[in-house]
């Protein structure tokens, strides 16, 4: 073992033992060199190795910190076993009731799916919009119709290529947020009555789309750490006709699970063997806490069966509604569907995002954003552990800003939701993440907002959970 590997292993052990808590700053290179008598490059190599392992993270101009995800404790989160039958979905009303109630400005947005809007370069985007629109010739308007502005599609393709992911600009269709792409994809590859395989728990927007298009949902067991269970999926594919899968292999909503690359590759191959399209929701991929962007399932797509959807809504421009879909063999049908229903993402939004990207400060923004979200998530996890009743378990995602909590047995998240709402706190109760409202003791909280908004709300939620526990005891 080289010296830097040895040093890295020592630190990794301290992290695993809990002696170095998430969020702790590691000694600076200079301090460590002085203390240990090793070279600066040895220290630096150790820290980089730890960073690649996802145990620490670099923050610009600040140093290295123990990552929020460094002590994975999510594995012990019980995996609820779904049934093996596809079922009709009637969850949409509940989603609107629950999330609509919390949409008011004076409700702490822990139930929301949007990160804090303070995190985004809105001023720079406004300038980019102004500059772009000033330069726009009237004739250029038609170039923004689906498939969308060619330069913007090229910028998006370029980002994939830099990350070593094969994706051609001409496969990309700009959409009104990822949600339009996801819904359009589902519409294109299914007929009413078809069965769609989803994660369990699943993002409620997938459930709503399935309900709206009169499809059936088949839940597949999903691990909070590694994502959808491929054996369970293989069994399901062998057993019944599945028209499509709608999955989030990277930072799944709500679990935050991240499928390792090898599993993504296996997933794509498995579906290709069965000729089943994969609708991949990849909107959180840029919000990784590790050292590099997790590869999408699309990176392993050789048959054009992966319909890969993403957007700038979670990482750059919330509300701008600029997303995209790389729909493989369905690219033309997708483009036509967008043309027939919304025609395009709006010219000012496409223009603003394009001009911002061409400026070249997106990566700097993303580095800051990831560091901020990791810090916020860390603080949220610590607060939850301190404030919630004993027996509460919480995920430790390696990216994003959503946490999934399992309350001690017997506590009902819908009752917590109701109590919280009376105190002007929104949460997303587990009921809305499954066709049969099964995750009744779970909830999703958004920790992507400012700490002074999130942490007091989490403490208050903890108190309410304690009260609930006492009253139901």
Tell me the C-alpha distance between 312 and 350, whole Å: 11
Q: Which of 142, 262, 409, 473 binds a second copy (CB under 8 A)?
A: 142
Q: Read out DSSP for 202-219? A: --HHHHHHHHHTT-EEEE
Nearer to a second copy, 143 or 418 (CB): 143
Residue closer to a second copy (CB basis): 25 or 103: 103
Cβ nearer to a second copy, comparing 53 with 130: 130
409, two tokens: 């047995």
Element at 56 (helix H, strand E) = strand 56-59
> Which residues from 319-338 bind a second copy, rule CB under 8 A?
319-322, 336-337
CB of 340 to a second copy, least distance (A): 5
Alpha helix ranges (H) inside 79-149: 92-101, 122-135
What are the residues whose beta carbons fall under 8 Å from the beta carbon of 335, sequence distance 6 or more? 146, 147, 173
183 near a second copy, judged by CB under 8 A:
yes
Residue 341 binding a second copy, by CB under 8 A: yes
Q: Which residues contact 328 (CB under 8 A, 6 or more apart)?
A: 171, 301, 303, 304, 305, 306, 307, 308
Closer to a second copy by CB, 206 or 244: give it: 206
Query: What mask, x for binding a second copy by CB under 8 A, covers residues 352 to 381?
Result: x-----------------------------
**Cα gap 314→401, rounded to integer Å:** 10
- Write out the two tokens for 420: 């919280």
Please select the residue that binds a second copy; options are 179, 283, 380, 405, rule is CB under 8 A. Answer: 179
| Window 300-319: contact mask with a second copy (x via CB under 8 A) | ------------------xx
Three-state DSSP class for 440? coil
Among 1, 17, 37, 139, binds a second copy (CB under 8 A): 139
In this chain, which of 38, 58, 130, 230 binds a second copy, going by CB under 8 A?
130
Number of residues that bind a second copy (CB under 8 A): 55
**E strand spans, 285-392:** 306-311, 323-326
Told to check if 126 binds a second copy by CB under 8 A, we report yes
C-alpha–C-alpha distance, residues 219 and 203, integer Å: 11
Q: Which residues bind a second copy (CB under 8 A)?
A: 92, 96, 103, 105, 112, 114, 116-118, 120, 122-123, 125-127, 129-130, 133-134, 136, 138-139, 141-142, 144-145, 176-177, 179-180, 183, 192, 205, 208-209, 212, 318-322, 336-337, 339-349, 352
């Amino acid at each position: 073992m080289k010296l830097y590997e040895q040093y890295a292993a020592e630190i990794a052990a301290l992290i695993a033992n809990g002696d170095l808590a998430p969020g702790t700053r590691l000694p600076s290179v200079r301090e460590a060199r002085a203390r240990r008598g090793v070279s600066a490059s040895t220290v630096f190599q150790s820290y980089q190795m730890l960073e690649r392992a996802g145990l620490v993270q670099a923050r610009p101009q600040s140093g290295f910190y123990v990552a929020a995800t460094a002590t994975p404790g999510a594995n012990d989160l019980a995996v609820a076993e779904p049934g093996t039958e596809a079922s009709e979905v009637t969850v949409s009303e509940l989603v609107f009731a629950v999330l609509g109630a919390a949409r008011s400005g004076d409700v702490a947005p822990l139930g929301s799916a949007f990160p804090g809007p303070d995190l985004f370069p809105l001023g720079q985007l406004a300038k980019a919009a102004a500059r772009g629109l000033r330069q726009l010739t009237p004739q250029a308007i038609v170039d923004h119709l689906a498939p969308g502005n060619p330069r913007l599609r090229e910028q998006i393709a370029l980002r994939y290529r830099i990350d070593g992911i094969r994706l051609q600009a001409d496969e990309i269709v700009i959409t009104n947020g990822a949600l339009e792409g996801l819904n359009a994809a589902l519409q294109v590859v299914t007929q009413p009555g078809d069965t769609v395989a989803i994660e369990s728990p699943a993002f409620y927007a997938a459930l709503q789309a399935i309900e709206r298009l009169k499809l059936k949902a088949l839940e597949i067991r999903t691990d909070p750490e590694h994502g959808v269970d491929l054996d369970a999926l293989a069994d399901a594919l062998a057993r019944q006709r599945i028209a499509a899968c709608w999955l989030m292999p990277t930072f799944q909503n709500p679990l935050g699970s991240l499928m390792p690359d090898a599993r993504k590759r296996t997933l794509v191959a498995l579906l290709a063997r069965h000729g089943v399209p994969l609708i991949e929701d990849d909107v959180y991929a840029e919000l990784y806490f590790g050292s590099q962007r997790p590869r999408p399932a699309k990176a392993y797509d050789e048959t054009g069966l992966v319909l890969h959807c993403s957007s700038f809504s979670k990482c750059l421009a919330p509300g701008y509604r600029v997303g995209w879909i790389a729909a493989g063999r369905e690219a033309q049908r997708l483009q036509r569907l967008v043309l027939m229903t919304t025609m395009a993402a709006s010219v000012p939004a496409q223009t603003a995002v394009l001009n911002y990207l061409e400026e070249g400060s997106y990566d700097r923004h993303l580095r800051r954003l990831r560091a901020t979200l990791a810090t916020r998530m860390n603080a949220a996890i610590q607060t939850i552990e301190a404030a919630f009743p004993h027996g509460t378990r919480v995920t430790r995602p390696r990216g994003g800003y959503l946490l999934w909590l399992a309350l001690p047995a017997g506590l009902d998240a819908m009752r917590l939701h109701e109590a919280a709402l009376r105190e002007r706190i929104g949460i997303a109760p587990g009921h809305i993440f499954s066709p049969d409202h099964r995750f009744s003791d779970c909830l999703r909280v958004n920790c992507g907002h400012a700490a002074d908004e999130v942490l007091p709300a989490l403490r208050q939620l903890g108190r309410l959970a304690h009260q609930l526990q006492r009253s139901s005891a």
